[in-house]
Amino acid sequence: MFWIFDDSYSCIGFFTQILYVLTPIAFLIQLKNGVLREERVSIFCLLSMYSNAFVYFWTSAYKVEEGADIKPMDFCNLAGFYLGLVYLLIYLYFIHFKVSKLKAIILMGIIIVVSLAVWLIIKYTVEKDNISDKIFNWIGVVFNVLEYFPIGFDIIYIIKNKISEKFTLFGAFFGLLNACTWLAWAIKSYRDGANLMHSIVANCLGICLTLGQFVIFFVFRKDEVEDITNSEEKTTTDIVKEKEEEIKNQPEFMNEFI
């Protein structure tokens, strides 16, 4: 009924994950076109998205029993792994490479070296349901949660400066959709006997983070509207005062005509 997927939860989860993995493209387009201010952007979420997909894809790949097929849902992690690496390269090019080629190369080198080291550890230690598998499941939770922060944006800068950055809502919407879908899948699988408590925790926190982005936007948006209104009122008041001063300073015979 659901093609190659186990059930409707798996099918929907696959496509919502793919949609979320594709959302950084919108951010990178805005970055390329110079729409975004550099002090507001951050590599943090892109790196977390890449790391999350990297850990879960490779741990799943090395847990597969000989002769068994990799589950279709694991391919969305494969997409996140490859696309995440591409996003990091593009980000480093626009933000660092044009300013300092050496810095960009060093940062990319660190990411590649650390990735290779983690891959080797996973390859030679992870087996189905062993201690290493459980450790990497919870390591993956950290990155899984962090990837739900605003895609490409520095959340600390946004909160500190009370900025209602509308471009964060695009990622927040698809992030919320994805987290809700995977939470439903994890709960259903957990009831069927699968050990997926880590996924339940990660997606519950993910839902909180994405909803928080909507709250931050509308709260700071309200503040910006109030500031604009106050500014306009102040300007109007100043104009009236200036007009009164102008009239007051005019000769008496002019006041008679006014």
- Please state, in angstroms and rounded to a whole number, the distance separating the CA atoms of residues 6 and 231: 58
- Residues contacting 176, CB < 8 A, separation 6+: 207, 210, 211
DSSP type of residue 249: T
Q: What is the DSSP letter of 70?
A: P
- Which whole number is the average pLDDT over 226-249? 54
Would you kindly state where each structural domain of the chain is located, as residue ranges?
A: 8-219
d(CA 216, CA 169): 10
Rounded-to-10 torsion of CA 52, 58, 60, 63: -140
Residue 89 has pLDDT above 90, yes or no: yes
Query: What average pLDDT does range 201-227 have in this prediction?
Result: 86
Task: Write the single-letter amino acid at 195.
Answer: N
Residue of higher predicted confidence among 97 and 255 = 97
Pairwise pLDDT comparison (112 vs 247), residue with the higher score: 112
Which range has the worst mean pLDDT, 71-85, 127-141, 221-235, 241-255? 241-255
Mean pLDDT, all residues of the chain: 84
**Banded model confidence at residue 9, pLDDT cuts 50, 70, 90:** confident
- With 80 as the cut, is the pLDDT of residue 88 above it? yes
CA dihedral over 122, 151, 20, 31, signed as positive or negative: negative
| pLDDT at 254 (0 to 100) | 43
